[in-house]
Structure 1
Amino acid sequence: MARDVLALDAAGRRWSLLAAAVCLLPLLLQLPMPRSVAIAIAGAIAAAMASRRATPGWLRAILALAVFGLILAQGGMNFGRDTGCALLAGMLAIKPSELRSVRDARSLLGFALFAPFATFLLDQGPLSLVLGLAGAILALAALARLSEQESALPAIEMRHVARIGTVARLVAIGLPLALAAFWLFPRLATPLWGIPEMSAARPGLSDEMSPGDWLDLIADDTPAMRVSFRGPEPTTREMYWRGPTLTDYDGRSWTASPWLRSLPPAEVEHGAPTWDYEITLEPTERNLLVALEMPLELPQGMRGAHEYTLTSARRLDRITRWTLRSAPPVRFEADLPDPMRRLALRLPPDFNPRTRALAQQWRAETSNDGAIVDRALAWIRGEFAYTLDTPLPGRHAVDEFLFDYKAGFCEHFSSAFTVLMREAGIPARVVTGYTGGTRNAYGNYWIVRRMDAHAWSEVWLEGRGWVRVDPTAAVAPERIYDTLEDRLGTGGAGAAGGLLPIADLGDWARRMWNDFMLGFDAERQQRMLQRVGFENIDTGGLIGLFSLCAALALGWMLWLVARSERERDPLLRAWHRLGRRYARLGLGRARHEPALAWARRVQAARPGESPLLILTKRFIAARYAPAASDTTLIHALRVHRPAPESDR
Structure 2
Amino acid sequence: MLNALRPNRATGVARALPRETRDTLFVLAVIAWVVALQAAHIPWWTTVLTAGVLAWRARLALRTAPLPRWPWRLGLLLVTLAATFASHGTLLGQQAGVTLVVVLLALKTLELRARRDAFVVFFLAFFTLLTHFFYSQSLLTAAGILIALLGLLTALVNAHMPVGQPPLAQAARIAAGMALLGAPIMLVLFLLFPRMAPLWGVPNNDPAGRSGLSDEMRVGEIAQLALDDSIALRVRFDGGRPPPAGLLYFRGPVFGGFDGQEWRPLESGFARERRLSADLRPRGEPVGYEVTLEPNRRPWVFVLEAATTAPTLPGENRVRMTEELQWIAQRSINSLVRYRASSHLDFGHGPLQAEIGLQDYVQLPPGFNPRTLQLAQELRRQHGPGPAAAPALVNAALDRLRTGGYTYTLEPGAYGRHTADEFWFDRKAGFCEHIASGFAVLMRAMDIPARVVTGYQGGEVNGVDGFWTVRQRDAHAWTEVWLQGEGWVRVDPTGAVFPGRVGSLQRLRAPATGFAGAIDNFNPTLIAQLRATWEAINNVWNQWVLDYTQGRQLDLLRALGFASPSWQDLATVLLGVVIVVSLLGALWTLWERQQHDPWLRLLRRARQRLARLGIASEEHTPPRELARRATVQLGDSPATRALADWLLRLEAQRYARDSGTTLPQLKQEFRRLAWPARRAT
TM-score bracket, shorter-length normalisation: 0.7 to 0.9
User: Is the Cα–Cα contact under 8 Å of residues 80 and 199 in structure 1 kept in the other structure?
Assistant: no
Alignment of 1:251-290 (within 5 A): 251-258=260-267, 266-290=278-302
| Aligned amino acid, residue 279 of structure 1 | V
2:570 pairs with one of 527, 542, 547: 542
User: Is the Cα–Cα contact under 8 Å of residues 43 and 93 in structure 1 kept in the other structure?
Assistant: yes
Provide the rounded CA distance (Å) in 1 between the counterparts of 2:429 and 2:294: 32
Alignment of 1:462-541 (within 5 A): 462-476=484-498, 483-487=508-512, 498=525, 499-541=527-569
Q: 1:86 to 1:386 in 2, by over 3 A?
A: farther
The alpha carbon displacement at 1:437 in A equals 0.9
The alpha carbon displacement at 1:310 in A equals 1.1
Alignment of 1:369-388 (within 5 A): 369-381=390-402, 382-388=404-410
Of stretches 199-208 and 224-233 in structure 1, the one that deviates more from structure 2 is 199-208
Q: 1:424 to 1:47 in 2, by over 3 A?
A: farther
User: Is the Cα–Cα contact under 8 Å of residues 81 and 91 in structure 2 kept in the other structure?
Assistant: no
Q: 1:455 to 1:644 in 2, by over 3 A?
A: farther
The alpha carbon displacement at 1:396 in A equals 2.0
Q: Is 1:206 the equivalent of 2:228?
A: no
Q: Is 1:18 the equivalent of 2:29?
A: yes
SS at match of 1:636: coil
After superposition, give the CA deviation of every residue in 1:400-426 in whole Å (9 maximum; x if it has no partner): 222222222112111111111111111
User: Is the Cα–Cα contact under 8 Å of residues 43 and 87 in structure 2 kept in the other structure?
Assistant: no
Alignment of 1:26-425 (within 5 A): 26-28=37-39, 30-31=40-41, 38=48, 42=52, 45-51=55-61, 52=63, 53=65, 54-55=67-68, 85=98, 88-89=101-102, 92=105, 96=109, 99=112, 102=115, 104-149=117-162, 155-172=163-180, 174-191=182-199, 195=203, 197-231=205-239, 232-258=241-267, 266-300=278-312, 301-336=318-353, 338-367=355-384, 368-381=389-402, 382-425=404-447
| Aligned amino acid, residue 365 of structure 1 | Q
State TM-score, norm by structure 2.
0.77
Q: 1:349 to 1:544 in 2, by over 3 A?
A: same
SS at match of 2:134: coil
Q: 1:218 to 1:78 in 2, by over 3 A?
A: farther
Amino-acid identity (%): 29
The alpha carbon displacement at 1:509 in A equals 0.8
Q: 1:364 to 1:126 in 2, by over 3 A?
A: same
Q: 1:76 to 1:592 in 2, by over 3 A?
A: closer
SS at match of 2:361: helix
Q: 1:597 to 1:87 in 2, by over 3 A?
A: closer
| Aligned amino acid, residue 229 of structure 2 | D
**Structure 1: unaligned runs, 5 residues or longer:** 1-6, 150-154, 568-572, 602-609, 624-628
| Aligned amino acid, residue 467 of structure 1 | V
In structure 1, the partner of 2:679 is none
State TM-score, norm by structure 1.
0.81
Provide the rounded CA distance (Å) in 2 between the counterparts of 1:63 and 1:444: 54
After superposition, give the CA deviation of every residue in 1:532-552 in whole Å (9 maximum; x if it has no partner): 222212333333323333444
Provide the rounded CA distance (Å) in 2 between the counterparts of 1:536 and 1:545: 14
User: Is the Cα–Cα contact under 8 Å of residues 574 and 637 in structure 1 kept in the other structure?
Assistant: no
After superposition, give the CA deviation of every residue in 1:420-470 in whole Å (9 maximum; x if it has no partner): 111111111111011111111111211111111111111112222211111
Provide the rounded CA distance (Å) in 1 between the counterparts of 2:645 and 2:481: 100
Provide the rounded CA distance (Å) in 2 between the counterparts of 1:481 and 1:233: 17
User: Is the Cα–Cα contact under 8 Å of residues 35 and 47 in structure 2 kept in the other structure?
Assistant: no
| Aligned amino acid, residue 600 of structure 2 | G
Provide the rounded CA distance (Å) in 2 between the counterparts of 1:496 and 1:76: 49
**Structure 2: unaligned runs, 5 residues or longer:** 1-17, 313-317, 612-616, 631-640, 674-681
SS at match of 2:236: strand
Provide the rounded CA distance (Å) in 2 between the counterparts of 1:159 and 1:8: 10
After superposition, give the CA deviation of every residue in 1:86-136 in whole Å (9 maximum; x if it has no partner): 665455456545555555544433332233211111111223223223322
SS at match of 1:295: coil
SS at match of 2:408: strand
Provide the rounded CA distance (Å) in 2 between the counterparts of 1:385 and 1:575: 79
The alpha carbon displacement at 1:507 in A equals 0.8
User: Is the Cα–Cα contact under 8 Å of residues 264 and 305 in structure 1 kept in the other structure?
Assistant: no
Q: 1:189 to 1:84 in 2, by over 3 A?
A: closer
1:456 pairs with one of 478, 488, 494: 478
Provide the rounded CA distance (Å) in 2 between the counterparts of 1:96 and 1:477: 62
Q: 1:644 to 1:50 in 2, by over 3 A?
A: closer
| Aligned amino acid, residue 617 of structure 1 | L
Q: Is 1:617 the equivalent of 2:648?
A: yes
The alpha carbon displacement at 1:331 in A equals 2.3
Provide the rounded CA distance (Å) in 2 between the counterparts of 1:204 and 1:307: 20
User: Is the Cα–Cα contact under 8 Å of residues 363 and 424 in structure 1 kept in the other structure?
Assistant: yes
Q: 1:500 to 1:70 in 2, by over 3 A?
A: farther
Provide the rounded CA distance (Å) in 1 between the counterparts of 2:610 and 2:417: 96
| Aligned amino acid, residue 9 of structure 1 | E
Of stretches 61-70 and 161-170 in structure 1, the one that deviates more from structure 2 is 61-70
In structure 1, the partner of 2:9 is none
Provide the rounded CA distance (Å) in 2 between the counterparts of 1:495 and 1:378: 42
RMSD: 4.6
User: Is the Cα–Cα contact under 8 Å of residues 276 and 351 in structure 2 kept in the other structure?
Assistant: no
The alpha carbon displacement at 1:264 in A equals 8.7
Q: 1:516 to 1:495 in 2, by over 3 A?
A: farther
User: Is the Cα–Cα contact under 8 Å of residues 490 and 497 in structure 1 kept in the other structure?
Assistant: no
Instruction: Count how many residue pairs are aligned between Structure 1 and Structure 2.
Output: 616
SS at match of 1:484: coil
2:457 pairs with one of 410, 430, 435: 435
| Aligned amino acid, residue 418 of structure 2 | H
SS at match of 2:142: helix
Provide the rounded CA distance (Å) in 2 between the counterparts of 1:612 and 1:339: 110
User: Is the Cα–Cα contact under 8 Å of residues 348 and 488 in structure 2 kept in the other structure?
Assistant: yes
After superposition, give the CA deviation of every residue in 1:112-167 in whole Å (9 maximum; x if it has no partner): 22332111111112232232233223223313333434xxxxx1553323322333
Q: 1:67 to 1:38 in 2, by over 3 A?
A: farther
Provide the rounded CA distance (Å) in 1 between the counterparts of 2:37 and 2:300: 29
Q: 1:587 to 1:198 in 2, by over 3 A?
A: same
Q: Is 1:636 the equivalent of 2:661?
A: yes
User: Is the Cα–Cα contact under 8 Å of residues 321 and 328 in structure 2 kept in the other structure?
Assistant: yes
Q: 1:385 to 1:193 in 2, by over 3 A?
A: same
Q: 1:210 to 1:612 in 2, by over 3 A?
A: farther
User: Is the Cα–Cα contact under 8 Å of residues 649 and 661 in structure 2 kept in the other structure?
Assistant: no
After superposition, give the CA deviation of every residue in 1:508-540 in whole Å (9 maximum; x if it has no partner): 111111111111112211111122222212333
User: Is the Cα–Cα contact under 8 Å of residues 389 and 482 in structure 1 kept in the other structure?
Assistant: no
Of stretches 262-271 and 513-522 in structure 1, the one that deviates more from structure 2 is 262-271
Provide the rounded CA distance (Å) in 2 between the counterparts of 1:439 and 1:622: 65
User: Is the Cα–Cα contact under 8 Å of residues 330 and 464 in structure 1 kept in the other structure?
Assistant: no
SS at match of 1:447: strand
